[in-house]
Structure 1
Amino acid sequence: MSDKKNKDKKNNILNFVNKSKENKKIQTEDDEFKRMDALAKELVDVYYKASKKSFLSVGYCFYLFIYRVLQMMIAQISFPLYRYYYRYASKQILENYDEWIKEYKDWDGASVNDKVEGANKPQDENETIH
């Protein structure tokens, strides 16, 4: 009976290396990057559609999603690598923000580089808020 269970388990395992050899396709890092990136985009699109149907705000729904992704990430990889990926992703988002926001020309003043009125106003130490 033990042999039958082992045989059943072996039948359920997908051997990706053999599949690649059978198809005579060489799997490259670029191919794998594209595959995983497409999967990530699909997951985010599905989650976004679900969050639009939720009575919670889309922003809060994405907070929950990001929190769970980061929680899993820090549990699975080293802290220095986690910190590197987290910082690099944040940097890329901010660097590309100006390019993305150009699509929304009616959003005047939405650029990260735009100065917000009063942002650089010198503060008087004697001035108090009433």
Structure 2
Amino acid sequence: MADPALKIRIDKWLWQARFFKTRSLSAKAVQGGHCRVNSNPVAKPAYMVAPGDVLTFPQGRDVRVIRVIALGDRRGPAPEAQALYEDLSPPVPRERQPEAPRYDGGGRPTKKDRRQYDKSRSSALE
């Protein structure tokens, strides 16, 4: 069995690695049964993880697959947090967003344009 000093709670590690904004949010994700450690479902935030474990959990619309490389001492800046894990998630292709219709930039219609518009509307009603 591994030395207990080389393990940390899963909710605390997810928070330190900056996957969740608060520790309570990471605990809720684990309690909801959304996390897996080495392909085994985990439902307790107190589950201990060690370096080498592979975590799978949803984040937004994506499913993250992470290998724990190190255990953190604190929740530090992002570069420090990124050194705690290796991302094994396959790159997700993003769907192209449909382009918004472009405004022709004509501005406010002139009086001549308004007359023409009113004339076309009145002829459609007759």
Give TM-score scaled by structure 1 length: 0.18
Q: Which has the larger radius of gyration?
A: 2
- The structure whose residues are more often helix, as a share, is 1
Give TM-score scaled by structure 2 length: 0.19
Report 1 or 2 for greater relative contact order, CA contacts < 8 Å, sequence distance ≥ 6.
2
- The structure whose residues are more often strand, as a share, is 2
